[in-house]
Amino acid sequence: MKRRAAKSERKPSRRSQPKSYRPQTGKHAGAEAVKASRLPSRAVVMRLAAEVDALAAQLQDSRARILDLEARVDVDPLTDVLNRRGFERELKRSLAYVKRYGTSAALIYVDLDGFKPVNDRHGHGAGDVVLKAIAAALSRNVRASDVVARIGGDEFAVLLWNVNGANAAAKAGALEAAVYGTPVRWNASTLVVGASAGVALLGALDTPADVIARADAAMYARKAERRDGHSGSRVAAARNP
């Protein structure tokens, strides 16, 4: 009897709850809480996305500015045509094209006549205005495929494509006339300069130095011709109206 009573007094055993309903306590509960606290809120995510977009826009703008600066490295800041570095790059490219495809091209070396008196009498500001006007005149009188560059103080170079010797010589004369036909008003004076142009055809075996040397020699020969008063020469000077 005692045994039965003792047996009946035992507490009934609790059924084990399913795992899905069992509350997590201790280590597992702490880990879940930490994990939940680490999840970013929607506001944080949106702010980070906006920052990423802003950085991407800044990167794109920086790349555009770098490309612009790289392009400007080869441009003369005063006249806005190619500088000597840009000209030498284009001359090398032209020689490579001539050598590979057998096409024709010419270099016209243009040196201004009477430019020093402009600086001496009217100052470098006047000289800068004249150089800008001459660069613009040269650019207007060549094709879009041709190249105009300022390679020295008052020296310019023009690269012509698909021309023979006669056409290049005719263009050189036209450029001399274009320079002389570009008067510049400066205060009460009209400034006019002349130009001497020498021509050299590009050959398949030429180096850039070869072409420049021939064009430079032709330019000095033309300058001597103009100085001696031969046909086509004009006196360059600063004249008052």
Select which of 76, 146, 154, 206 is catalytic.
154
CA 27, CA 34: separation in Å to the nearest integer? 11
154 labelled catalytic: yes
Say if residues 156 and 212 touch (Cβ distance below 8 Å): no
CA 50, CA 13: separation in Å to the nearest integer? 58
Q: Exposed (0-12), middle (13-18) or buried (19+): which is 151, by Cβ within 10 Å?
A: buried
CA 68, CA 56: separation in Å to the nearest integer? 18
CA 116, CA 191: separation in Å to the nearest integer? 12
CA 84, CA 26: separation in Å to the nearest integer? 78
Q: Give how far the C-alpha of residue 44 lies from the chain's centroid of Cα atoms, to the nearest Å.
A: 41
Residues marked active site are found at 154
